[in-house]
Structure formats: C-alpha cells, structure tokens
Structure 1
C-alpha cells in the first residue's frame, strides 16, 4: 500500500496528461495539489507545514536556474526571427545546394542543434519543419524529420535540463555532460540515419552513408571534447557549428565540378551574388558567434571565470542553493540580445512584440517546471522517493540499470521537457542507484539522455507538429512513427549502458 501511495504523484501526472488530456501547466499544478493532499492525509508521508514550504521554495529556486536561461534564449530567438534572420538562413541552405539529402543533413545535425542549444523549448522543430516544407518536402515528412532533428535536447537552452539534473542529483555537471554525450553517440548516428530514411528511403541511406557517418561522428566526438575541455553549456552550440561547417564543406566540394564547368561570366555573377548573401549570413550568424565567444571566455579565462563565480552570487545555504548571476549562460544570452538589438537596429515595436511572445511562452514553462521540481522535492522530504527507490532496488537489483532508461524516457514523453523529466525523476533514479550499488553518474546520465531524446515523441509536441504542418488528420500516424523511433533510441541507450558498465570508471 505504501508503494502505491508513493507512486500517486507520478500516476496523477499521467492521468492528467493522457486521460484528462490537460496541458503540462495544469497537469503540474493538479499533481502538485495531489501531492500536498497525500502528505497531509497519509500518516507515513506526513510532513509539517514548514517542511512543505521549504521543499516547495527549493523547487522554485532550482527551476529558476532553467527559467533564467530560457527567458533570454527564447527572447533571442524571437528577435532573430522577427527581423527575418531565420528566413535568411533558410534561403542560404536552399541556395547552397539543391541536393535534398544534403539539405536534410545540414538541417538535422547543423541548424536544428544550433537553434535548440541556444533557444531550447523545442523551438528548433518549429523552424526546421517549415524550412523543409519550403524546400519541397511533403508535410508529413517535414514534420517527422523536424521532430527527429531535436537530437541536441540534452544541451537545449545552453544545457538547462542537464544543469537541473546535475543540481537535483548532486552530480558533477561535467561528469553528467560527458556521460550524456558518450551515451548519445549511437543516438546521434541513429537519428541522422532515420532522418535520411524518412526523406528518401533506404536507397538514400546507401547513397549518403559516407556523409552521414562523417558528420554524425564529427558531431559526437566534438560534443564529448567540448563537454570535457570547454563547458557543458556551450557544447551543443560549438558541436553544431563544427558539424555545420563540415556539411558546408561537403556541399562545396560536391558542387565544385559544376562551378568549374560554368561559363566565366555566369560564374562571376554567381560569385557576386554569393558574396552578398555571405555578408547577410555572417551578420545573421554574428550573434551566435558573439554568444559562443562570450561564454567561451567565461569558462576558459581564469581571471574572468573566478571574478564571475565570486561576485553577484545568490547564495542560500539553507536551501543548498547558489547561482552566480553573471556566470550563468542566462546573463550572456541577455547580453547577446542587447548585441542583436544594436547590430540590427531593431525597432521598439519589434522588441516589444518579441518580449510579449517570449513572456507568453515562458510563464507556463516556469510554473509547470516549478511544480514538477516541487513535487520531486516534496516526495524526497516526505520519504516517498526513498520508499520507491527501496522497492525498485529490492525488485530489480543491479538489473535496474535496464529499467532506468525507460523511466527517463517516460518522463520526457510525458512532459515534453528534459528539464521537467529530470525534475521529476532524477532524485528517484539516483536514490535507486545508491540502493542497488550502481554508478550514480552513469544512472544520472542515462536519465538525462533518455528523457531528452524521448521529448520528440511527447503527444503535445507531435500535435503541435501536425498543426504546424497542417496535417491534423495524420497526427496519430505521426505519433506512432515517432514513438517507435524513440523506442529504438531507448533500446540503443540500454545497449550503450551495458557496454559502459564494463568500461573502467563505470564498473
């Protein structure tokens, strides 16, 4: 009975989302209220008002880490979008190559990870899918490829989900970032192959296997290297820039023959036009480069790093909470927004429109994430998490490592957010790992990777995709296909985890 009661907060989330078909915002609020009722009524999990307030406020503080970054990430995106920056990027891709498969590769492992790493919130999908339609792909294919392109979610909004997971689980951020990157290597390759298959079938995989393997391995290896030697927060941005550069180099090499055989006059005209477009693209990309260089400096210049970590810090020891405001990526996204406004001379009307849109999207995220984190904290304070972890440990033992990816995947599937999933399940996963003797950093990384990669199959996100691409009648088919793709990713995570268990440092 104690186990069933302890599981009720998770069950209530599931019922609200799938039975009552409520939004993540309302589901979070209702489930938080249900959790309060349980700890107020059921004697075994009863805690006093002071502990309830303490756990709830700690939930707010932890979610603020993500909210701080996400607000300016979303504002940055809307500023760029409202001045036509995204359309410029789309035109550049269209003019760079007429090869649809190379366009897909560039979008899936170049542009989409870049947008997701800086903005988060699945915004990359909302841009990639319309671009694919504009490039001539049928809407169902565009929606499917757009969802699959969300392969960099663990590093979305400068890794806010990973940061939250590390904070809640008490895991070193670098360890969690590197662990997630290693686990994700086969996932990156898998998703890019799936994208190529969705675009043009099995024959397309055979024709583009060299390019697919080269770019996905480059993306994977640079992701690990940047997590180790630069910073977790910046890894997604840097890896997507590297993979984009490799894609563009491949495109240039493949088009060199046609350029050489072209008429000299036509060639000169083309170069002139390309130069104009290059200037435009460089200007559009300059805020991304400015953001990258800024955060790069804060992580690798010791004097700068030490100053930012020691000053303007919110420190609340009673809640085990500390946030260096100027060291956080959120501050540098804010500075990047100012840079963008200045460089593009954005009008007050556009700024105001961008702010309103950002607030409209941001507020529900903050409330829902806060409720999910608060539920997790209340469950820990009331001993529910311990009871579930103990039962899972007794039931599965070390075999729990094969259950862990499904728990993370369910979290991502339910909430559509790696931040929300990590808020709900990281504490449970880490406590269960402690009970079973499994490596904490590996289990936390599995939770982070599985929850992030499962977000693309979230029903609400799929519904958004169907609406965005005007294929509402195909929503069930789209959900089924993406869910099967995500299941394949979860199975790959299990396989990779099994291998890692035998690698020194994880065993």
Structure 2
C-alpha cells in the first residue's frame, strides 16, 4: 500500500468507526468517543502537529466548545422548567381552546408547521414533537399518524436551539455564519414542500382546492419569513420568528372563521415570558451592536448562549414551584444536559481534530477525484450523518470541513454545498431512532413501536429530500 493510500485509510478511519458503531446501535456518545480516539491515534501516526499548531487548534476550539455547551445547557434547563412548571401545558391548552371548532386542516398546520418548529427552534432536542403529538391525538389523529406528523414538522432544525449546528458547520467549514443561515433558508423550500406533501398524503388524502391553497400559503409564508429573518435579524432567531409568523397567521385565520380567541390570562403571559426574553434580548443587543459598532468587544452580549441561559433562569424563577422543587428541577436539567452536551461536544472535538490535523483536507482531496458526483452526494452524506447521530451538530462536525474543501477543489461554491449538507443533515433527524423513540414515548402505549409503514414514510421523505437537494446543489454550486 502506498503512503498516500495509508494516509487516506487513516483519515477515513474515524468516520468509518463512528458510522459502523452507530449502525450496530452503539450510543452516539460512545461511537463519538471511539471515533475521537481513532482520530487522535491517526494524528500521531500519520498527521502529526507540532506544539504551536496544537496550541493554535486548541485556542480556536475552546470558545466554540464553551458557547455550544452553554446553548445546550440553556435549552435543556428551559425545556425542563417549562414542562415541569406547567408553562407548556398552559400554552398548549390555550391553543387547543383557540382551535376548538376550527377547520381541522388549519389546526393541523398550526400544530405541525407552527408550534412544532417554534418549540424546536427555541429549545431543540425534539421538544416540538413532545408537545404537539398529544395535541394532534386530541385533534382526532391516530397516535401513529400524530407521531409521524409531528416528526414531519421538524422542518427548521438548522435553527433548532438557536442554531448551534449551523454555527459549527460555519466554523469548521470556514464560512460566514449569517450567509450560511441565508443559504440554508433558501434550500429549506424543498424541505417544506416535501414535508407538506407527506403530511397531506398521510392525513388529508384528496385535498380540496382551498386546502391546497392553505398549504401553499403556509409553505410560502414560513419560507419567506425564514429568509427575511436570516437576512435582517440574523440566523439564531430566524426559526423562532418564522414559526411565530405561521402561528400568528393561522390564529388570525381561526379568528376570522371562528370568532374571538380565548382571553389571555396572567398565567399564560407568565408562561411566554422566557420566550420573550430570548427574542427581545437578542433583537435589542443586536441592534445596539449595529448602532455602536462595538461587535468586536461586546459581541458576546448578543450570543444566543447568553439569552438562552437567562431565559432558563427566568423560567425556573417563574414556575411557581417551592424552592426545593426548583432546585430539584435544576439538578434534573443538569443531569439531562451532561449526556446531551457530551454527545455534541465529542463530535465537535472530533471535527476540530480532523480539520486541524489535515485529515479532513486529505479526504476532500481524494473526494475531488469523483468529480461533481461528490457535490451531488453532499446532501445525502449530511443526511446519513444526521440520521445516525440524531444531531445536526454531529453531522456538521463530521463532514463540514471535508465538504467545503472538496467543493472548493472542484470549483463549486463551498457555501452552497455546505448549506445543502446542513439542511439535509438536519431534516434527516426526523427518521433518526432517538428522535422517533422520543415521539413514540409520549404518544403510543408503553412498549408499542412505530409500524414499519410509518418508518418507511419518514425514511422515504428524507431520501426524496436528499435527492432533490443534491440536484439543486449541483445546479447552484
């Protein structure tokens, strides 16, 4: 075997080990740890760094690791506080009352394309499905259809938990975060369309012209709002604002056709305060930084990590629970955060090791020999990563450096290629076993599993999306 072939095998080994272990149902955390160990051994054997290079790589990695860990901490504790304190129930109950007697299609779309992506955008971790699947059952859907429909509503995962996966992709792929958000928004149109078709086939059957018009309006509204929010407000809040626009629009439609909405009580206002903290905080500080040109010194004040943590603090403080219960809530949230953060950070460090040692670049150089066929396969590659790791953070960390390096070497636009990987990898999580298990746990009876036909719908939707995105990326890049 030639030295070049040996280097290729060593560079590819961490990814092969991770994917093989995941395929054999090893937990993503331990698969990531194994891949990281293999990458470190490979770095010593074939891709060594001197002391200064190791120091530079570490100093570049630490700020990102801290920010991602803080974002995940805020999201987990916020979700825990909103659930245990009853805030989620109050919001869901108000929405259920608002939708009472409304057109079932309007309610279906509000829950799937409004509430589900909103919850996912704020907290991540599939919480949107946890909230909406039971509501979809109350709407009249069977538990299986409720689970599949809720998962199909995870259409804004690149902006989930205020976008750490997209942030990692931009940093490892050496692309501008905001521009990646914009291109990810542009490429999300096929995701919205294909998801909507699947939801209608599953729940509506033969739609009327009015239902088709409503579906088209929801898709175009969410996509346009997503794009505008990325361009004007920035990437972290884009998913929150886009889904809020859909919720508001469908509530207005319900109001016009159904009469006055239920009154907004004080407990309901308290329940939404943490979300208002996030939106108002990021908007206000972003505007302040733009007005004062102090981003270099005070850029941290607009970080989603800061505002998610503050929102979590507010949520805990406003639960109305006794102090002892609030402390237990925080401890439980921290226990949930440790494996979630550990999983994300292991893959993040793996990505940094492969990027800084030159492993990813070596893989990309080899991939260039495939030609534009590699560019077409980038969304599918991201989809495989998202499906197996159950995380767009994991998919981004594994493939982003190689994606942009290979795309550049082939003369393609690395930003568009990376956006295709980001969107496909994020959407593929709807079929990921951890996401499916979470949704099944809240909607089906204990011990019941999702039927093969339901899994086939999810996997088929992901596969079609990856193929369509592959074609689009080839044309645009």
Per the normalisation by structure 2, the TM-score is 0.90
Q: CA deviation at 1:246?
A: 0.4
Deviates more, 1:148-157 or 1:133-142: 133-142
Deviations 1:2-31 (A, max 9, x none): 333321111111111112x11111111122
Contact 2:236 2:304 in 1 (8 A): yes
The answer to whether residue 465 in structure 2 is matched with residue 478 in structure 1 is no
Deviations 1:139-186 (A, max 9, x none): 111110111111110001111111111111111111101000001012
1:200-279 to 2 correspondences below 5 Å: 200=204, 202-204=205-207, 208-256=211-259, 274-275=262-263, 277=264, 279=266
Where does structure 1 lack aligned partners over 5 or more consecutive residues? 257-270, 312-323, 502-507
Residue aligning to 1:407: 381
> Greater CA deviation, 213-222 or 120-129?
120-129
Q: RMSD of aligned C-alpha atoms?
A: 2.5
CA distance in structure 2 between the aligned counterparts of 1:479 and 1:186, rounded to whole angstroms: 20
**TM superposition shift of 1:381:** 3.3
Once residues 145 and 29 of structure 2 are traced to their aligned partners in structure 1, the CA distance between those partners, rounded to angstroms, is 29
1:101–1:196 CA contact under 8 A, matched in 2: no
1:26 equivalenced with 2:44 (yes/no) = no
Alpha-carbon distance change, 303 to 427 in structure 1, aligned in 2, over 3 angstroms? closer
Taking the aligned partners of 1:350 and 1:331, their CA distance within structure 2 comes to 24
Q: Which piece of structure 1 moves more, 439-448 or 89-98?
A: 89-98
Q: In 2, Cα distance between the equivalents of 1:308 and 1:334?
A: 20
Matched residues in 2 for 1:480 and 1:305: separation? 52
Q: Deviations over 1:408-447 (max 9, x none)?
A: 1111111111111111110110111121111121112112
Match in the other structure for 2:297: 310
Correspondence 1:148 to 2:122: no
Alignment partner, residue 13 of structure 1: 18
Partner of residue 67, structure 2: 65
Q: Does 1:423 find its partner at 2:397?
A: yes
Deviation at 1:245, TM superposition (A): 0.5
C-alpha separation in 1, matches of 2:296 and 2:332: 32
Structure 1 residues 460 and 76: alpha-carbon distance in aligned structure 2, compared to 1, 3 A threshold: closer
Could you say if the C-alpha distance between residues 298 and 29 of structure 1 is closer, same or farther in structure 2, counting changes exceeding 3 Å?
same
Q: CA deviation at 1:220?
A: 0.5
Distance (Å, rounded) in 2 between the aligned partners of 1:17 and 1:169? 24
Cα drift, residue 54 of structure 1: 6.3
The equivalent of 1:467 in structure 2 is: 441
Aligned in 2, Cα 1:112/1:32: closer, same or farther, shift over 3 Å? Answer: same
What's 1:505 paired with? none
- Mapping of 1:269-418 within 5 angstroms? 274-275=262-263, 277=264, 279-302=266-289, 306-307=293-294, 309-311=296-298, 324-396=299-371, 398-418=372-392
SS of corresponding position for 2:245: helix
Matched length = 468
Which moved further from structure 2: 294-303 or 431-440?
A: 294-303
Q: CA deviation at 1:227?
A: 0.5
Deviates more, 1:123-132 or 1:113-122: 123-132
